[in-house]
Chain A
């Protein structure tokens, strides 16, 4: 579903991403680990066509993101670290608005259902986003992804700054999405959450993917050791 082939990004002589080969299949949750500046966000931005690759290609459902950006974006949902929505609109209205941008039309009941599935309590649906906590906004982000019928999910440190309960709820939502066959690529610093939620792990360092493994191959302690070994 998500595929990077020799995908690289250079800024002059600075290398942001060494040629990267990575595949995320339907239903997989691929967690990218690494320090700040390791190339996690660059990878996600390349899949979103926010930046132009220097070489290689990024495919979403087999669609090249540079050649056919609108088609590839139709299949993607994206939740950045700090999801900002329209503060003057309610949660429900935001989902409706972004669905309209993605050329989807829903009744009020359908929109309510998406928000409920995303775990947002009913009484908040019609309140303005400006009154929402970060966790609530991330849930609206999930609702937008659900409404968009996204086949792939790109997440850039979505749980940073969330309290443990909210973080846990978010992980549960990701698992639900993956059960529906959504391919997820998530950049995160949270080793624990990555091991709990993810199906695959990748460790990045200085623009290179230095380690790939599946979560069932390793326990929490070994993952931390492995991670620190690469960082030192």
Chain B
């Protein structure tokens, strides 16, 4: 048994063109990892820069507020005075960033569609943030040359090249006759041949990746084991499919055509169709339309500002000042805050529709991802990379929540006609990116992939049972 495995390995290892193929795969892996690392590096650098600028600006402003408080400096124009809550809240919005996960370089996912940090302000269209007609989760699945691309697209081709003729080549060369004259279970013998190839390919894939990671100075990021597991289960699926095609007992040419057709369907057609249907069935409202509606509502609210404010005070008596002898220096803003709810109300239907459509799109894709192992792998890898549509949707919610927190900090203080102080600076709300509560689909993806592979293998077994030795030899 072990001896036949060793000889199987020897025959593979002595094929020169396979070494060439594997070198090519390693080259692709290295290039993909380099691209991914660069992409993530840019993203992290942009966030770091924004954070650093924020720190510098906050320190300078703290110094300035302190100087003004000590009477060392004063501003003639109130709209420049950093003690004005409106000035601070609008100008000094804090960075809300989506920090890259350790495996972010593996899959670009949606990361080239969205910004990874923003600075919510007092005034503005926080609700329109991240709205995009491009956010279809599948459409841009395979946009860039990253590790996910190499695995989803190229790995199956390698598996096919490596295994399409395992049985047919033996028949075509004639050695099958001698093999079938031996006291062996042909199914077991063929399975062993596939097993050796799977192990060899797994070693090459894992070896290429680890080497590329080390060469790119990435070490072994958290989640690497899970990533390798899902990639190998994808390779397992393709081997199982190739096994099935092999045991139909047809010629090498026929096997190659069948497997290439399977590749086209699984990797190209199904994802394209599912993605296309997602946008056709659940079109997302246009972003332009959304912003337009937001501004119309704003303008409308502006016109009726004093009337709106009166109603607002009636609803929020706690915000009315006891001492109204002096005019509130934030009068414009107070009217704006009073109208925010109205603006929200006007925009909400569009926002809701957007959210609903996006959720429906996501649900559709989530549900249909089981139709193609390529989508499953893509889902699992973006899940591990933190670049899935779910992650960006969650980040959008985090931004909205933070924008609300920021506004809620300033609003009551502005109604009370207060100033910004250095003590207050330390109490301003902060945002820390968290991805833990994004629902992970990794385990289901992995499980379904393995089950699919086993199912295909079982189908191969059934096909094999129906095949007589005569058919096996005749082709």
Contact = CB atoms under 8 A, between A and B. Distances in A.
A98 B15 contact: no
Interface string A103-129: 101000000000000000000000000
A136 interface: no
Interface string B242-273: 00000000000000000000000000000000
B7 A89 contact: yes
29 contacts: A48-B181, A50-B473, A52-B468, A69-B183, A73-B184, A74-B183, A76-B181, A78-B178, A80-B177, A83-B178, A84-B177, A84-B178, A85-B175, A88-B15, A89-B11, A89-B14, A93-B7, A93-B10, A96-B7, A97-B3, A97-B4, A98-B182, A101-B4, A101-B179, A102-B182, A102-B183, A141-B178, A144-B178, A154-B181
B10 A88 contact: yes
B189 interface: yes
Given A83-B174, A93-B10, A144-B178, 6 more contacts: A52-B470, A74-B183, A85-B178, A86-B175, A88-B11, A98-B178
B427 interface: no
B173 interface: yes
A84 B174 CA distance: 5
A80 B470 contact: no
B185 to A, nearest CB: 7
A23 interface: no
Given A89-B7, A100-B7, A78 B181 contact: yes
Interface in A47-103: 48-52, 69-71, 73-74, 76-78, 80, 82-89, 93, 96-98, 100-103
A48 B186 CA distance: 14
Contacts, number: 79
Interface of A: 48-52, 69-71, 73-74, 76-78, 80, 82-89, 93, 96-98, 100-103, 105, 141, 144, 154
A94 to B, nearest CB: 9
Interface of B: 1, 3-4, 7, 10-11, 14-15, 173-175, 177-185, 189, 468-470, 473
A96 B183 CA distance: 15
For the complex of A and B, 8 pairs with smallest distance between CB atoms: A84-B174, A100-B3, A78-B181, A74-B183, A101-B182, A88-B14, A73-B183, A97-B7
Contacts of B4: 97, 100-101
Contact of B181 (A77, A85, A93): A77
Contacts of B178: 78, 80, 83-85, 98, 141, 144
Contacts of B185: 70
Contacts of B15: 88
Question: Which of A77, A100, A154 counts the most B-chain CB atoms under 10 A from its CB?
Answer: A100
Nearest to A70: B183
Greatest chain A CB density within 10 A among B3, B10, B182, B184 is at B182
Nearest to B176: A84
Nearest to A94: B7
B4 to A, nearest CB: 5
Given A96-B3, A101-B4, A50 B180 contact: yes
